[in-house]
Amino acid sequence: MNIMIIGGTSGIGLALARHYLKCGDRVAVCGRDLQRLPNDLETTSPKLHAYQFDIADRDAIAQAMEAFTVADKRMDLLIVTAGIYYNTRSHVLDVASTMHMLQTNVSGLAHAFELASQKMLKQKSGQLVAVSSIAGLLHDYPGASLYSATKRSVLSLCDTYRIALKPFSVAVTAIVPGYIDTAKLRALNEGDASHKPFIMPEEKAVALIVEAIAQRRDRLVFPWQMKWLITVLNWLPAKLLVLRR
């Protein structure tokens, strides 16, 4: 398969890249800083391609997609893990960082889906995948409303594209994780994120994500404990959640 991963220079995206490279797939990893790619990945993986761009830059995404699919190569799978998140619920965003989060988590994803879907429509096959978050399922997430809103938007974009592309055999999968023990999450928690509820090791999360992609599922919400917790929290009156601020 020909697979592009936007947000593949670290964390979940990098772990997915390693998995697909091991399977023998041709993989493009993309991010703003390719220096972050571990040396072993570059030297031992001839099927690895790397493109440096900011997902907010539509033209740069288009150029990378053209380069990766040159000579009529297919785009079988696009995975977008690029996203910004903070640790604290009460993180205050100024205008610049608000726009940055919106451009990365939402409009960047829309650019990537739109450009890849043009190729997949021509092929009449393919799959788009985006990583949302459990936060996007919460009706009210006190103090984290912008991140939560961006991840709700990811789910809405996935639903919209799924309906539009289904007649053309293009699948759209939304990945909705709880806490995953990535280097970024650890860095935001002074090196140890083990106190986060129901946190899952990165390898286990990647195995679940890969399975959901292979099954062309509409949506994967995990871990199951978080799924149930969110159902209960959404059922509680919003006023009770506000009391926890």
Ligand X SMILES: NC(=O)c1ccc[n+]([C@@H]2O[C@H](COP(=O)([O-])OP(=O)(O)OC[C@H]3O[C@@H](n4cnc5c(N)ncnc54)[C@H](OP(=O)(O)O)[C@@H]3O)[C@@H](O)[C@H]2O)c1
Binding site for ligand X (CB under 6 A): 6-13, 31-33, 36, 54-56, 81-85, 104, 131, 133, 177, 179-180, 182, 184-185
C-beta of 126 vs 136, nearer to ligand X:
136
| CB closer to ligand X, 2 vs 148 | 148
Partners of 176 in beta bridges: 221
- Measured distance CA(61)–CA(70) in Å, rounded: 14
Tokens representing 100 are 């940055």
Pairing of strands 200-201, 180-181: parallel
Q: For ligand X, give the closer residue by CB, 81 or 153.
A: 81
Strand segments (E) across 7-76:
26-31, 48-52
The residue type found at 157 is L
For ligand X, the closer of residues 38 and 240 by Cβ is 38
CB of 199 to ligand X, least distance (A): 7
124 vs 141 by CB, closer to ligand X: 141
Q: Which two tokens stand for residue 243?
A: 């009391």
Question: Which residues is 48 bridged to in the sheet?
Answer: 27
Question: Do residues 85 and 150 touch, judged by C-beta distance below 8 A?
Answer: no
CB of 20 to ligand X, least distance (A): 15
Shortest Cβ 75–ligand X spacing (Å): 17
Q: Minimum distance from CB of 197 to ligand X (Å)? A: 11
CB of 223 to ligand X, least distance (A): 11
CB atoms within 10 A of CB 80: 28
Q: Which is nearer to ligand X, 85 or 168 (CB)?
A: 85
Identify the burial level of 242 via C-beta atoms within 10 angstroms of its C-beta, where 0-12 means exposed, 13-18 middle and 19 or more buried: exposed
- DSSP 3-state of 53: coil
Shortest spacing between CB 146 and ligand X, in angstroms: 12
